[in-house]
Structures are given as structure tokens and as C-alpha cells.
Amino acid sequence: MNLREGSIGVEDLVLLEPLEEESMLKNLQLRYENKEIYTYIGNVLVSVNPYQQLPIYGPEFITKYQECTFYELKPHIYALANMAYQSLKFRDRDQCILITGESGAGKTEASKLVMSYVAAVCGKGEQVNSVKEQLLQSNPVLEAFGNAKTIRNNNSSRFGKYMDIEFDFKGSPLGGVITNYLLEKSRVVKQLKGERNFHIFYQLLAGADAQLLKALKLERDTSGYAYLNREVSRVDGMDDASNFKSVQSAMTVIGFSEEEIRWVLEVTALVLKLGNVELSDEFQANGISASGISDGRGVLEIGEMMGLDSKELERALCSRTMATAKEKVVTALNVVQAQYARDALAKNIYSRLFNWIVNRINESIKVGIGEKKKVMGVLDIYGFEILEDNSFEQFVINYCNEKLQQVFIELTLKEEQEEYKKEGIPWKKVDYFDNGIICNLIEHNQRGILAMLDEECLRPGVVSDSTFLAKLNQLFSKHGYYESKVTQNAQRQYDHTMGLSCFRICHYAGKVTYNVNSFIDKNNDLLFRDLSQAMWKAKHPLLRSLFPEGDPKQASLKRPPTAGAQFKSSVAILMKNLYSKNPNYIRCIKPNEHQQRGQFSWELVATQARYLGLLENVRVRRAGYAFRQGYRPFLERYRLLSRSTWPRWNGGDREGVEKILGELSTCTSEEMTFGKTKIFIKSPKTLFYLEEQRRLRIQQLATLIQKIYRGWRCRTHYQQMRKSQILISSWFRGTMQKKRYGKIKASALLIQAFVRGWKARKDYRKYFRSGAALTLSSFIYKSLAQKFLLGLKNNLPSTSILDKKWPAAPYKCFTTANQELQRLYHQWKCKKFRDQLSPKQVEVLREKLCASELFKGKKAAYPPSVPIPFHGDYIGLRGNPKLQKLTSGEEGPVLMAETVRKVNRGNGKTSSRILLLTKGHVILTDTKKSQAKTVIGLESVAGVSVTSFKDGLFGLHLSEISSVGSKGDFLLVSEHVVELLTKMYRAVLDTTQRQLPVTVAEQFSVRFKESNVTVKVIQGPTGNGNGKLSCKKKGSHSLEVTV
């Protein structure tokens, strides 16, 4: 690969000169500082984490890299993903992409970019898009439940993930399978300083709405939970609330039902609440130390949410049942033991929940058994970890990274050299470090550290972490990659950093000191049978399914496999899977320890470059060949480049390959070597030249096929067209002659008609007067107008103003005049009708008009009131002299008198009142005593509020400055609300010369003394709004009225 103009540094380290560690690091630093984070080592991609978003991703870049070969553009993760996908699609080779590096080096983001690229370039269609969306949406779900903030990384994967994406023969995704490895479940109960628990706990508390939190019996404040680090509750650049919505949406896309999502959140809440179960010291009657629950509220809430018997759960947390073949012995647990049991239960619940989520995702994306498929695996697993205090989790994580380094060594370095030797090709040996001895130290079946740990866990007698360390010191006292305080003392070495309870392993990434405290417990990973049985008895479907061993029918005294043995078995399966596929490597590098953009720590990057073996990899690539392939597939792919081998070749495969390359001038002997079974090509440039020539040759062959096909098609088409043309021509000529004859005949007749007309006009011109046409047209128009007006006179409609009939105009020229006459006639009828009305009738119509302006189209009670006259007196005021005394004669007659119901301000109950409306006041009296209880001047009425239903409820708003208004507004119910409010509106207008505001709404505010009360009106079960009215107080500031 030649250097492109304008490239920064060397894009492929194979071309680096001089080949030294210093020059390699300088090149990486130069490219990193110029935001070029990707560099090649042959077909291996080195990625340096930029700790920022760069504008080098998206559909535009995907299209660009999809259309180019590996070395045509700048180094990019899209180029490696495209090479793997194209090899899978066109060469039928299963692929795996191994993403390795330290924690915080960007492995998770790299796996997302690979998956997004493959999803973008593969096939399309409704089913394919659904599968792609499910595969992509699995990431946010697994990140929420499996990632956490650590000291080194804000989004660190605390589990290993290997995803097999399965494709059909066309390269379209069919589904996939996700395998998870060793979730760091100890994080559930304890986190280091500056770290957080798993993201889902914070997302749930920040993003769940109040109703969901209440259902889960949780509070939003993270400081109220013992399992959450109170010092670190938020992460810069991470929105927990929006991420929670994204997780819920992703689970729905994957195929989780609403019920399953609720189950998952309930179990997650259960883990949080278990941490708040406080245990205290108690003593039995015989003086033996025991434990109990300090506050039973937490256990009761767990029992209610999970369908558990709280007493049963408390017994399981505070005691243990030891079963033998003959009897069962119940032993009380002290506080320390009970706390251990509680934490073990929380860790087991969360770990099993995570496994259930992975299995549930696999159910949604799995592929049918009978379908033939190709596979691309993507490995995103925790990076190498060296912490201040390294425990069992770091030990197994680093063991897994040792195995991955072994895969890289064997497939990239060791097998490279062995293949050249096997093919009989001269090879200059490249020295490399083989970490097989370290892997053997850890995983040997009889004498490995994991084997010793399992043996110590199973051994009867007193077993502790100290006895385990003593056994390691005895067994590996002379091992070159094992150290401890005992072995150092034996060799008379002094190291103050080595503790008495520690041992050290010289990993490929450097020396790591492990503290053996809790190794035995974490490897046993025991959960008391009492707790399993208690969880199995829960009525919660998901929680019950997580503990199948709790079923008494399936109870077994057989000891479950240890955590170390399970992980070792999982790693062995993973290694076998990786060995069966073609590997593609992404080596991720962390540029600094502070997650700062633009900072490049020389020492840190140098350390990572050494244990990643980058320099050895460059040496192998420069000394070896970039491409190799068997003679048969090479011949099948490129035989069309030679006339000797195309279209068929009868000789041997190697001879055919030699023929092809011999006829190509660019392929010199320095660029290639012939092995026993394969052809080896040194430079990728030569391979790209072959691919380009093949592409051009395919275009030539396609053009030749198209030319022959088009010639045959054109000849056939020409013969058909010639026959058709002869037939069409004969019919066409006959038809044209017929049309021509018809036109000539029509033209002759037209000429004859014109000539005869001209002669007739010439002979009789003397008989015509000048202006005769105008006189005739004027006479005709006047005759038509006279006829129209006389006819309209005889057919006039009735004089009723409701009769809108009108005769239509006989001619279009009279349409405008007809409309104007209709308008004038209607106005005349209206005037005649008004002249006949008495002053009282005029007043009634004005009131109806006012009611229409106030309520038409706004209140449902208005239409029924239109045909009913306004009476005004509904209580027989003339026959009741006591009520007549309440109104002064100076104010004139009573405009409205009726019985209304007043809504009590305190309890919402109603009581009957008589309402009298005069031109100056509104008077409310008691129905029994006929005494004025309230007199309201119309100038004090500030407004009226009514509903849009058929009910008679209205609020009478009074101004605060008035004496009556200081007590608050009135809430009244009238059976003639339309008439009452219309008369009140007109009275206020006449008295105060202002318009009374009338508000129509289902919810309005009234003032009761010094506080405002919101009145909300709803329809009752009948739905017509005119049923029985009932009022119900909703707190001190709300009143609900059902009508």
C-alpha cells in the first residue's frame, strides 16, 4: 500500500521505517493528535480511544467504505468490518471479530460500530430490517444491566459478550445468539470509591415516573439505598432518565411484552430493597448468638411485591437448614452470616436475572434449526485489569485475556510461521513471547491455580483463603511466573508492595498482585438452600423461574460446579468457537488514564503496545505474505483473466494458476511465491490489482453477453416489425384515401353553400333596413323583461317571514335582478312583521336574541329553551305579599323569581333558596322564612360561569371590594339557567352600562372566603348532563360536580 498524498504519518505500520518501538509510538501519537485514531498492521486494526465524538461515522462514510477495498481509503473500523462481511458473503468463510484491549480503551464502542456497519450494508426488507433492529437494540439493554462506571471507564462492560450474527446465503441477517461470560455480580453489593453500581439501578430511579416508582415501592433519591454508592450518583455526559426510556423502547423492539418488562423492573427493585434490609444481633434462650430483622417494613414490602411470605423470607435470611440423609438441623445465623446470606441472595438474583434477559433476547433473535447460515462473531469482553486491590473477579478476567492473547499468538504469529514452513516457503524466524506457560499455570487440570482452588473448596476440614495460598506457594515455589511473600523470602528478595495474603502472576500485560481474601467464597458462590426454596415459593412468575433448584421435587444434595470451573468451561467453548472462524482483530489502546481528549501518555501506550504484541505483529507482516489461498479456489476466481484457462481448463490447479499469473505483467516473481498447496502474495497491492482486473474482465464478459443478446433481440424484433409494417401500411393507405375523398366532398359542399348564400344576400339586400337587428334585439329584451316581471307578480310567495321560497329566473340574464328583488321582498316582509308587533313582544324577542348571542352553540341547554317563552315568575310572586315586601317599589318590577339550590361552601351539599332579580339587585331568601338572607347589588356582580352541559349549575362571581363579595362567590343551580342569566345580563347592562362576562367551561374557579376553589364538572353515567347533581369535595381547593 503506497502512502497517499496528505496522509498523516504512516497509515500501515508494515511500511514504517525504521521499525522500532519508539518510531511506532511516535507514529501513533502523531496520528492521534491529528484525530487519526485508526492505524493498520496489515489487516489488523489499531484503534486509539479519542474520548470524543469524531465526524467520521454515519451513512456517508458507510457508503464510501462499502464501495472500496481495504487499503483504498484511510484506515477505518468500517474498512475492517467491510472486509469481514465481504469475505463472509462472497467467500463463504465464517468470521469473528476479536476486540481486545484494556478497560476504557473503547472496545464496547468499537463493537457497536461494527454491528451498525454490518446492519447498514446487508440486505433490506421488512423482515430483515426487523432482525437488524432487534440485534442493534440488544446493545442498550445489555449495557444497562451489564455496564457500570468504574475508575477507568464511565461505561465499562462488567461482563463478557460474544454475539454470533447469522446470515443467509445472500448476506442478509437471520438472527443471532448472544453468550455472556461472568457478570461481576459482587458489584451489586459493593463498589470501590468513585465507582457506581450497574446503570439500570440509577436509570430506574431517575427515569421511572411517580406511578411506577410507587408500584415498585421505591423512592427517587439514590442516597436511600445501601447498595448504591452515595458519593457517585451521576456520570458526566450520561442522562440516566432518557437512557431508561431508551431501554424500555429497546426491550419492546426486541420482543419483550409489557408484562415481562414489568417483571424485570420488579426483580431489579427487589435487589435494591434487599440492600435496605437491616439485620441486628439477637440471642437465643441458650445464649447462642443469632440475628433478626431490625425493621420489618422492608421485608413486608418485598413480600407484597413478590408474593412472598415475609416470615418465611425472614426465617431464610436469619437461619440455615443443614440436611443429611436422616435428619434436618436448623442453625441460627449470626449478624455477619446473615448479612452474607442477604448479599449472596441479592447477587444471585441479579446474576440470574441478567442470564434470563440474555436468554430472552436469544429467543427473539434465534434462527430456525433447518436454515443454512453463515456466521460472524463479535467478541466484546472485559479488558485486562490491574487495580489497587485485585480479587477473584480480576483474576478470571485476566485469565480470559491471557487466553485471547494466546489465540492471537497462535493464529497471527505462530500459525503464520508454521504455515510457511508447511508450504515449503523460506522464512526468517521472528521471536515472540508465547504465553501458553501462563495459561497453563492458571488452567492446568491437575496443577493449575483454578484446579487448586476447586480442590481447596471441595476438601473436608478447615478450609480458608490462607490454606489455599499456602498450597499455591508449595506447588509453584519455583515457577518463573508466580510470586508471593513466601517465594520472595526463599529467594531473599524484599518487596514491600507484596502483602502476606497476596500472590503475583507475571501476565503478558504485566505483573498483577492478587489478594486471596474471599477467593474461596467467591469461587464457591454458595446460596443457602433455604433462600432458594423461599424464592421458589414466590408468586412472582419471573422470580420463581430464576430458582428452579428451590423446588423440593428437584432438590439435590449434589454440589453445584464452582464459579471458576464454570468460567473455565465457558472460556474453552469460546476458544473452540474462535478457532473455527477466520479472525479479524481490533486492538484498542487507551491513550491516557484520565479519559481526556488529546492527551497521549507515552508510558501507558508503550505498555499496552508491548503486551498486545504490536511490534512482533509488524515484523511478521513485513517478513511474510499478506494474502494466501489454495490453488483450486484461486483458479476458480481468477481463471477468466487468461485466455488459456477461460472458459475451461483441463490441466492441474497449480499449472492453471501459473498460467494466469504468467500472462499478467504486473505479477512478478518477487511479489508471489508458490507453495505446495497455496499461492502466496506478498503485497496487498498485487491482490487489489488482480481484483481490479477481474472486475474489468467481468464487465467485458457481461458486455459481450449483452451484445449477443441485444443483437438476437433486435433481429427478432426487426422481423416482427417488418411484417407488422407491411400490414399496417396497406390498411393505412386505404384509410387515408377514404379520408381524403371525404374531405374533398365536404369542402365542395361548403363552397357551394357559401356561394348560394352570397348570391341570396346580394339579391335581397334592398329589402333590409339599416339598424333593424338592434331594434329587434331591444324589443325582444323588453318583452322578455315584461314577461318576467308580470310572471313574478302573479307568483309571489306568502308574506310569512319564515317562507324563503322564491321563483327562479327564467333566463340567466335576469339572475342578478332576481336576487336583488328577493332581498328587497324579504326586507319588506320583515318590516311589515315588526310594525305589527306590540312593545311587549318586541321585548320578548330581544331577550331571546340576547340568549342566542350568549349561549347558542355553547351550552346544551340552549336549544330546548328556544321555543319556550320566558315567564320570569316561577314561584307565584303576586300571591306572596311577604316576598313582594323584599323588593322596593323604586326598582320596578321583579325581572325573575324562581327557586334555586345553593351549593354549600364547606361540604358541597345543596339547600333551596328563592332568587329574586330586580333592575338593581339579586336577592336570595330562605324558602321557609321568606326573609332576605343575601342582597347583592348588580354593580357587585363581576361575572358568571356555566358549563356546556344541560345542567343548571352556574357560579356567580362577586367583586372582592363589595361587602357581600368578601364572603366569596356563590355556586347556584337553576332549572331556568338560560332565562335567568339572560335577564341578569340585560339588567347589568341597563344598570351599570357594562357587559356581564359569561364564561362557558367544564372547569372554573370560584372564590370561597379567602381561598380559590376549582370546580370541575363531569357528566354522570347517563351521559346527557341533566341527571341528578351531586357535589364532592376533593381536598380543600377542589370541588367535583357530577351532573
Burial class of residue 286, CB neighbours in 10 A (0-12, 13-18, 19+): exposed
CA distance 195 to 997: 63
Angle at 176 between CA 586 and CA 395, to 5 degrees: 50
Which is the catalytic residue, given 156, 348, 515, 532?
156
Is 186 annotated as catalytic?
no
Read off the amino acid at residue 616.
E
Closest CA to 62 of 51, 76, 48, 72: 76
**3-state secondary structure (DSSP) of residue 269:** helix
Strand partners, 1006: 1013
C-alpha span between 671 and 687 (Å, rounded): 10
The residue annotated as part of the active site, out of 49, 82, 103, 111, is 103
Q: Which helix (H) or strand (E) holds 48?
A: strand 44-48
Can 925 be counted among the known catalytic residues? Answer: no
- HSE-CB of 226 using CA atoms within 13 angstroms: 15
Measured CA distances, 215 to 309, 354, 537, 731, 825 (Å): 19, 22, 21, 87, 74
Among residues 175, 383, 550, 965, the one annotated as catalytic is: 383
Q: Which position among 153, 268, 348, 918 bears the catalytic label?
A: 153
1034 three-state secondary structure: coil
Angle of helix 240-254 versus helix 126-146 axis, rounded to 10? 140
**Residue 176: which H helix or E strand, with range?**
strand 173-181
- Between CA 143 and CA 139 the distance in angstroms is 6
Which residue(s) pair with 673 in the sheet? 680
Residue 103 designated active-site: yes
**What DSSP string runs through 968-1033?**
B-EEEE-TTHHHHHHHHHHHHHHHHSSPPPEEE-SEEEEEETTEEEEEEEE--TT-SS-S--EEEE
Q: Give me the catalytic one of 101, 104, 448, 613.
A: 104
* Residue 161 near residue 179, CB atoms below 8 Å: yes
**Which residue of the set 102, 301, 385, 979 is catalytic?**
385
Residue type at 766? Answer: K
- Catalytic status, residue 686: no
* 3-state secondary structure (DSSP) of residue 680: strand
Separation of CA 289 from chain center: 52
Instruction: Catalogue the E-assigned strands of 270-368.
Output: 279-283, 289-293, 319-323, 328-332
**What amino acid occupies position 434?**
D
HSE value, Cβ hemisphere, 13 Å, CA-based, for 533: 15
153 is catalytic: yes
Q: 385 catalytic, yes or no?
A: yes
816-824 CB contacts, 8 Å cutoff, 24+ apart: 818/792, 821/792
SS3 902: strand
Ordered alpha helix ranges (H), 593-652: 602-611, 614-623, 631-638
Amino acid at 788: F
Q: Which of 108, 138, 364, 918 is catalytic?
A: 108
DSSP 432: -
Helix residue spans in 415-464 (DSSP H) = 415-422, 436-443, 449-458
Catalytic residues: 103-104, 108, 153, 156-157, 383, 385
